[in-house]
Structures are given as structure tokens and as C-alpha cells.
Amino acid sequence: MSFSRSNFPAPAELAASRVAWMAQIARPPLPPAVQTWMTWALGCRDAMPWLQLPAWREGAGNWLAMQRATDAEGLWSQTGEYRFGLDLKASTTGDLRWIDGAMADGWSPHWLVLTHGLDGDPLIGDMSRPEVPVLWKWHDEPHRAARPLFASLEELMAHVQAKAAKAPLVPRETRSSTIFYTVRLLELGPDPARVMLALRKIFTTLSVQELLKLKTRLPLTLLDDSVSALQKDRLVQHFGALGARVEVSERRL
């Protein structure tokens, strides 16, 4: 049975189901650096944290949402929202099933979502190392596209300034857009080497051998069913400038 607007699960039902699935997954212990992060985040509850890094997200805004960064339950809850995606094909109204990004899309079991931008782009801590390096990605990118931002969690905290300010409005496209964009790479064009280098910046966790295999998997999805017109335009312009042929499809609710 497919979902429609009339029978799609309520947010509370989705959250409860996702938490239940998350409970079945082994959680690595939180390292001391994350414990320090939670304590530090408590001081940001009455202010609006701002990441002082002009190049981050190419001007998309540096305000951070810290409401769930102050305790382990909140951190794991927001991590589950990124790691698990609803399996629309296997789910029914009485039996929701989830796809684990660690099995299907390059999410590491050691990753913890520390916080995120107000439009959903996450900052991810890699707990496989004691200093907890920080990664980031656009919220609608594949998990494997996460790239380094800071060498340690301590460095992230040093770049965040708490500002007493109202949260800015989330961009219109992420609040109420009913258009979903999919971008596919159809042909590499006359300069495939440059296109492959561009793909390497997206699929950062792939080995060279795995990256080369992408050439045989065209059309390749670069953006999947996303509300971000900004990211859609960025991909089209970038790959088009390299001579590649891309296709954009739109879906409306």
C-alpha cells in the first residue's frame, strides 16, 4: 500500500517508530570530547550560536540549532533522523520500516550528529577517533558525501560564538516548497577526467576503484527528491560548465 497525503504517518508516529528502530542498533560510548560538547552546549540555550567560518555552506547561513545537543538522548535522536530513512516501498500504515544509512548509503556507525544548520545541514562528529573530527554535508546529499570541516570537536567549539539574537527565518524553499528536485548525470561529456574529479568531491568516502565504477552506472543520481532549488541549481551549473549532460526532474505533491 503506497502512502498519500491523507494516510501519511504523523510526525509523532514517524519519530516513535524511528526511535524504536534506533534502539536496536548498538551505540558506541560517547567519548570525553562529546561529554564536553554537551556541557558546553548548555550555555547556548539562551542564545543563538553562530559558526564563525565564512566558507561553510557557501553563504547559506551559519546559525546552528542546539536544542538537542545538551544530552545523549537528544544527540542520538537527531542522529537517527539522518541515519534512518523511511522505506516507502516496504512500509505500510501499520508497519513502518526504515533503511539504515550505515547499510545502504555510507553512514558510519561511529557518526553522531552534533548539531545542524537551521535548514537541516548537519555537523557530524566522528567518534572513531578520540578528538572527534567534525564533518558536514548538505542535508539532501548522500551520506558518503560528508567532508571534513574541523580536525576536532574542540576546534569546532572554538569557532562558535553565542549571539543573543532571534533565529532568522528558514529560507522559503526549505519551509513550504512543494517541488522536489532530482538531478541525474547522464553523460560525462568531452572531458570525463574533470567530471570524475567533481564527483570525487561529492562521493568523498569512495575509493578510487569505487569512484571509477561510477562511469558504468550512468545515469547517476546527484540529488534525490530534494526541496533545495539552491543545491539543484548549483549542481546543474557546475557539471554543465564541465561539459557534462545532466537532467533535472521535478515532482509536486
The domain segmentation of the chain, as residue ranges, is: 11-163, 172-252
Q: Is the pTM for the entire model greater than 0.85?
A: no
pLDDT tens by residue, 23-69: 888 888 999 999 999 999 888 766 668 787 765 665 556 788 888 89
pLDDT tens by residue, 196-252: 888 877 776 566 777 778 788 888 888 776 656 777 888 888 898 889 999 998 877
> Angle of helix 72-83 relative to helix 11-23, nearest 10 degrees?
100
Quick one: which of 52, 34, 16 has its CA closest to 111?
34
Give 94's contacts (C-beta < 8 A, 6+ positions apart): none
Give 215's contacts (C-beta < 8 A, 6+ positions apart): 188, 192, 196
Mean pLDDT of the chain: 81
Tell me which CATH code domain 172-252 carries. Answer: 3.30.1390.10
pLDDT-based confidence at 167, cuts 50/70/90?
Answer: very low
Distance CA 187, CA 199 (A): 13
User: Helix count (H) and strand count (E) of the chain?
Assistant: 9, 12
